[in-house]
Structure 1
């Protein structure tokens, strides 16, 4: 019975991703963000549970990637589509709109929101590479999909809870969102070595970089709230590049 607990936790990740997609399609990006965050929480603990219970399995490995595709691939892609729609068309897309509906055939800029779907494509490719790349057993090559999802989902939360004229001007700029989408797709699949938050032991010496990073994360969250998420992602990349020996 215990061996099924990790897969149960991963299944909760899938469920959270599905609910997040439902709310994202409906235009409720804040609720979608909360469900993605919850799904990523389950994603962190399914691996921990598997190690503690010694319940690793090939099914669990495949299920984990499929869960990431839903929660950290498709859900943030739809959120980005909605953000691009709001920035370029003035409102999120509504369920039932098609390419032939009124408002979708008046100019190329009306199709700009579809660029957000590239996040799902890039995430799927990144996860497929991860499954066959033997180099990524203790670290990552390219930005993990949950980290990319957190970046995208931080945007509607910043707009909802830390809104300012500067924040709205930047985040609701269609060119900013387009560049961010393309940049995230590149980072997901770049040959970029990044450390993983996997603790084999709990001593400080062998985990110094991880403990320092977690301390920075905690401080940033307290001081910056949701704005901390893109800051933390930047710190994560920089710390991985300049402190390679750990």
Structure 2
């Protein structure tokens, strides 16, 4: 019986992704973000459940990627599609909004590649699809709540949104090592970058709520690059 628990959690991830898609069509961006975040929560714990119950399987691996394709692949593309449709100066019959699906294409390639890439067991190469999805799906929520003229100008500018879509697709598959949040050591020297990210995330979410999400994802990329640079410097010194 326990062997079915991880796959059931994965299916819940897929269900949340389906609900998020419907919420996006209904223009309920806050609820879409909530269900994407809930789906990613299930995505995080299905792997943990598989390890706890010793129920890891090839089927579970494929289910996980298929569920992620909806929750973390379709939703960011659909979000950018609608944002581009509503951007300033966009003609009603323009095909430009379809460029919003570039992150969906990038997510599909990344998820397929992830299943056969043996290098990404303890860390990631390229932006994980859940982080990318949270970043993009949070943007219309931020836009609806912000009073910053700069943020409003950027998030309603179709040139900015197109660049964002292309950059997202690139980062998903870029050969950039990004650290995992799996705490496999409690030594501060080994986990200092992860701890900084966790502390910043907690504090910023309390203060800024959903508006903190883009900042957290941006900081994650920056800290990962700093960690890479620190490790390269350490390796050169020891050599």
Work out whether the TM-score is over 0.5. yes
Alpha-carbon distance in 2 for matches of 1:72, 1:82: 16
**What residue in structure 1 maps to residue 38 of structure 2?**
38
| 2:56 partner SS | coil
**What residue in structure 2 maps to residue 218 of structure 1?**
202
1:119 is displaced (CA, Å) by 1.3
- TM-score w.r.t. structure 1 length? 0.87
Verify the 8 A CA contact 1:10 1:43 in the aligned structure 2. Answer: yes
- TM-score w.r.t. structure 2 length? 0.89
1:225 is displaced (CA, Å) by 2.3
**What residue in structure 1 maps to residue 51 of structure 2?**
51
Change (3 A) 1:226 1:10: same
1:164 is displaced (CA, Å) by 3.7
**What residue in structure 2 maps to residue 16 of structure 1?**
16
**What residue in structure 1 maps to residue 237 of structure 2?**
none
**What residue in structure 1 maps to residue 79 of structure 2?**
79
**Please, which of 187, 196, 200 is the counterpart of residue 184 of structure 2?**
200
Verify the 8 A CA contact 1:16 1:35 in the aligned structure 2. Answer: yes
* CA distances 1:182-216 after superposition (whole Å, capped 9, x unpaired): 11011001001001112335554543332222112
Aligned length: 230
Within-5 A mapping of 1:50-129: 50-88=50-88, 103-104=92-93, 110-129=94-113
1:84 is displaced (CA, Å) by 0.6
Alpha-carbon distance in 2 for matches of 1:131, 1:7: 16
1:243 is displaced (CA, Å) by 1.5
Alpha-carbon distance in 1 for matches of 2:226, 2:189: 17
Alpha-carbon distance in 1 for matches of 2:15, 2:177: 30
**What residue in structure 2 maps to residue 177 of structure 1?**
161
1:34 is displaced (CA, Å) by 1.4
